[in-house]
Amino acid sequence: MSGPLLHLGATVMCMHGGQATPSAPVPRVLVSGQPVTTQAAPYLVAGCAFSPPQGNGPCVTAQWIVAATRVFATGQPVLLMSSQALCAPTGTPLMAVAAQTRVIGM
């Protein structure tokens, strides 16, 4: 699995249209002038439109479960556009919609 690295300015969304942002980007490693993100820190989701009658609520956070295997920042795997994450409490995935294209990782 390879793909462009995710950074602070990347567009990442939950399946219901909520905007996801990294809770702790790595300021020591920059791509396109912005900090990269790693698997260690969860993403925070705002604006999720999911409101089921069963009450498990909209997406609030997301934890990455698949990340780069050969590229690390501060000892943690960096996130790629092809990385996979699960939202809590819904269990739905995140989608990386847009990111920088100059730096590719595996």
Name the H helices within the chain: none
Q: For the chain, how are helix, strand and coil distributed in percent, rounded to 5?
A: 0, 50, 50
Residues in Cβ contact with 55 at an 8 Å cutoff, skipping those fewer than 6 apart: none
Q: Which helix (H) or strand (E) holds 73?
A: strand 72-73
The pTM assigned to this predicted structure is 0.92
Q: Say if residue 91's pLDDT is above 80.
A: yes
Residue 106 lies in a domain: no
Which domain, by its residues, includes 82? 3-100
Residue 29 lies in a domain: yes
Nearest to 87 by CA among 51, 44, 41: 44
**Do residues 70 and 89 make contact, with C-beta atoms less than 8 angstroms apart?**
no
CATH number at residue 63: 2.60.200
List, for residues 30-66, the tens digit of each pLDDT value: 999 999 999 999 999 999 998 877 767 899 999 999 9
As for how many domains the chain has, the answer is 1
Is 12's pLDDT higher than 80?
yes
Q: Is residue 105 part of a domain?
A: no
Evaluate whether residue 74 is within a structural domain.
Answer: yes
Token digits of residue 100: 């920088």
Residue 11 lies in a domain: yes
